[in-house]
């Protein structure tokens, strides 16, 4: 018959209450400190070290010209990096939305009426059972990613306007500065069933 032995090993540094009592009484040796690796310090790259005047004097003109070219490249890359970061920050300021956000009737005032004056809001009134709504929603999803500075929201028509007739959906309301700037009922204005994002 096989002899089974199992030794339980806990996480390093963890002890039981029994072990703590035994250490206090002197029956067990003090617990060794937990292992801590030395902090990582990357090795200094020889090319990154500052050059002394003697080092520069020892170089021939061809090497110095090559170093100057490298320095010009570094300056250009640094300037390009700064310019690109500024562009990305500017794009991040304007591209705030990018999707069609579902909202409820209680969210309408906060998301649409109280939107900042510089933000245009496109409100999509829909019903799930109506196929034209699915077609228009697909187009709006594409437009929302293309025009990320415009806020696109969708809401079930009867949540937004009680007793709103199903024959009027899909409906698009365009808001800016807490006022309706445009109303589009049905798909006829968008080419009917051949509706595209364009």
Sorted by where each begins, the domain ranges of the chain are 101-194
- Determine the average pLDDT of the residues in 59-75: 74
**pLDDT at residue 5 tops 80:** no
Q: Could you tell me where the beta strands, DSSP code E, fall in the chain?
A: 100-102, 120-126, 151-156, 171-176, 179-185
Distance CA 130, CA 154 (A): 14
Convert the pLDDT of each residue in 9-26 to its tens digit.
666 667 788 888 988 898
Contact 160, 105 (CB under 8 A): yes
Number of alpha helices (DSSP H) and beta strands (DSSP E) in the chain: 6, 5
What pLDDT was estimated at residue 2? 57
Rounded distance between C-alpha atoms, residue 102 and residue 125, angstroms: 10
Q: Percentage of the chain with pLDDT > 70?
A: 82
pLDDT in tens, 89-145: 777 666 577 888 888 888 888 888 888 888 888 888 888 888 888 888 888 888 888
Beta bridge partners of 155: 125
Look up residue 102 and give its two tokens: 């579902």
Q: Over the chain, what is the mean pLDDT? A: 80
Residue 161 has pLDDT above 80, yes or no: yes
For position 187, what pLDDT does the model report? 79
| pTM across the whole model | 0.52
101-194: which CATH number, 3.40.30.10, 2.40.30.60, 1.10.1040.10, 3.40.1390.10?
3.40.30.10
Distance spanning both ends of the chain, measured CA to CA: 80
75: cis peptide before it, omega within 30°?
no
Strands (E) across 41-99 are located at none
Q: Quick check: 70 pLDDT over 80?
A: no
């Amino acid at each position: 018959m096989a002899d089974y032995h199992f030794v339980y090993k806990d996480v390093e540094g963890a002890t039981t209450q029994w072990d703590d009592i035994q250490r206090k009484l002197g029956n067990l040796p003090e617990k060794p400190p937990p292992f801590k690796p030395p902090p990582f310090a990357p090795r200094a790259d020889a090319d990154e070290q500052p050059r002394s005047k003697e080092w520069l004097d020892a170089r021939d003109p061809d090497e110095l010209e090559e170093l100057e070219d490298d320095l010009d490249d570094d300056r250009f890359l640094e300037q390009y990096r700064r310019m690109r970061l500024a562009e990305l920050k500017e794009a991040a300021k304007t591209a705030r939305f990018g999707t069609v956000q579902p909202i409820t009737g209680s969210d309408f005032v906060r998301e649409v009426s109280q939107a900042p004056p510089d933000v245009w809001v496109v409100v999509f009134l829909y019903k799930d059972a109506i196929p034209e709504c699915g077609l228009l929603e697909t187009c709006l999803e594409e437009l929302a990613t293309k025009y990320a500075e415009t806020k696109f929201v969708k809401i079930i028509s009867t949540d937004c306007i009680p007793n709103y007739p199903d024959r009027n959906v899909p409906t698009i309301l365009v808001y800016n500065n807490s006022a309706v700037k445009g109303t589009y009922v049905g798909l006829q204005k968008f080419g009917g069933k051949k509706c595209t994002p364009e």
